[in-house]
Amino acid sequence: MIKDAKREYAAAALYDGGWRAADREQLIAEYELDADEADAICELLRIYEDRRTDDDAIICKPARPAKARE
């Protein structure tokens, strides 16, 4: 359980630092991760990426332009 929490914290920090799931090999080299650790972190990064994409679609892209105030 603690290990999972640390992994989630690490993945969130990596995501905030600009790392993405596609950076798996670089993460392994930079942080000396084994394949299982990298896979687990990259899965979390994918989840964060998907959430961000969903948020962008909902929040940042209105269905219609807002009316100008008169």
Q: What is the pLDDT of residues 50-60, one digit of tens each?
A: 987 655 554 44
Rounded-to-integer distance, Cα 15 and Cα 9, Å: 10
Q: Does some domain include residue 36?
A: yes
Q: Does some domain include residue 52?
A: yes
Number of domains composing the chain: 1
Q: Does some domain include residue 19?
A: yes
For residues 17-56, b (16+ Cβ closer than 10 Å) or e, as one string? eebebebbeebbeeeebeeebbebbbebbeebeeeeeeee
**Burial of 9 by CB count in 10 Å (0-12 exposed, 13-18 middle, 19+ buried)?**
exposed
Q: Does some domain include residue 65?
A: no
Q: Does some domain include residue 69?
A: no
Give the tens place of pLDDT for each residue, 3-41: 888 999 999 999 999 999 999 999 999 999 999 999 999
Residue 32 structural domain = 2-60
Model confidence, pTM: 0.71
Check pLDDT > 90 for residue 62: no
